[in-house]
Copies of this chain bind each other. A is one copy, B any other.
Amino acid sequence: MVPTLADVAELAGVSEITVSRVVRNKGPISEATRTRVLAAVESLGYVPNRAAGSLAMSGSLLLGVLLPSLSNIVFPEVLRGIHAGLASTGYQPIIGVTDYDPVTEQALVASLLAWKPAAIITTGFDHTDATRRMLSKAGVRVAELMEIDAEPIDIAVGLSHRRAGLDTARHLFARGYRRFGYVGHDWTADRRAKLRFDGLRDGLRENGLDLEGHELSGSPSSTMAGRQTLAALLASKPDLDVVVFSNDDMAIGGYFHCLAAGIAVPQSLGIFGFNGLEIGEALPARLSTIRSNRFLIGKTAVERVLEQKDASGERVVVDTGYEIVEGETA
């Protein structure tokens, strides 16, 4: 069977606890026994049983991660950041996908907590009360990612989507655009897109403007949805001079529509996205957008969350910011 501490101890001629100390690099060990133990570990191919370890120390080297979706490239990128932050810490992420549903999230939080993770990283501020309760009394660090427009349970890492929307309006206004349109996806669950939309309108009102038209796709964000929805918008509002999209996927779809329909970008119509995906830079005309540093968000969250074992009580907000990417489409 698979070797345990006891087997290694016997082979090395020491006690279990000594092996345990060697393996964990903890406590004083003479160089002689250390090498002897290590040799035994090696020859038996001993691998510590984490379940037993967690149980004994009531805590684990697991990090609970909750993502709303994996279809949206944004979240795998956050996950990449999380992995980067975890590198060589010994921690491992356990992943749950909520499908943007707070009730699903609640069930996942419960089952993640069952592993006694060192921390939980989740997305946004939309949680059920039960989730919020579990999270606060679990005694672990909790990071809420992507946005910072509300009060976090413990730590928030992200950017202000409302301000990003506002800055979009200001930036485009400064570039001379006046007849604004908006194309979005089904944002019933994606409140951050809504925040950007609200910020955008605020920014327009600041300058005495409003959207000339907007169109929401009934489907989730996708390039195809962006393409079709822009076509629909232009059918009813042909004289816009710029269209802001809920994100880059949608914007790239819009750009494709323009290419296919022979609409000159940005001469006849400006296109503006959100996220700053890599692909935007490879388009025939570089996409004008806002870069949202997803990798950094994931990495920063991990660092913060592992920095101090237990929450000090005071809420922390980390603004990872955003940058306007000038591009060539608006």
Contact = CB atoms under 8 A, between A and B. Distances in A.
Interface in A248-265: 252-253, 256, 259-260
Interface in A48-72: 48-52, 54-55, 60, 62, 70-71
A253 to B, nearest CB: 5
Contacts of A223: 278-279, 282
A202 to B, nearest CB: 31
Contacts of A226: 282
Contacts of A76: 70-71, 73, 75-76
Contacts of A52: 51, 55
Interface stretch (A9-17, A113-121, A234-242, A308-316): A113-121
User: How many residues of A sit at the interface, in one of the four size bands?
Assistant: 35 or more
A92 B92 contact: no
Interface of A: 2, 45, 47-52, 54-55, 60, 62, 70-71, 73, 75-77, 79-80, 83, 90, 92-97, 110-116, 133-134, 138-139, 222-224, 226-227, 252-253, 256, 259-260, 278-279, 281-284
25 contacts: A2-B139, A47-B134, A49-B55, A50-B111, A50-B115, A51-B55, A51-B115, A52-B55, A70-B79, A71-B76, A71-B80, A80-B97, A92-B94, A95-B95, A222-B278, A222-B282, A223-B282, A224-B281, A224-B282, A226-B282, A227-B282, A252-B279, A256-B283, A260-B284, A279-B279
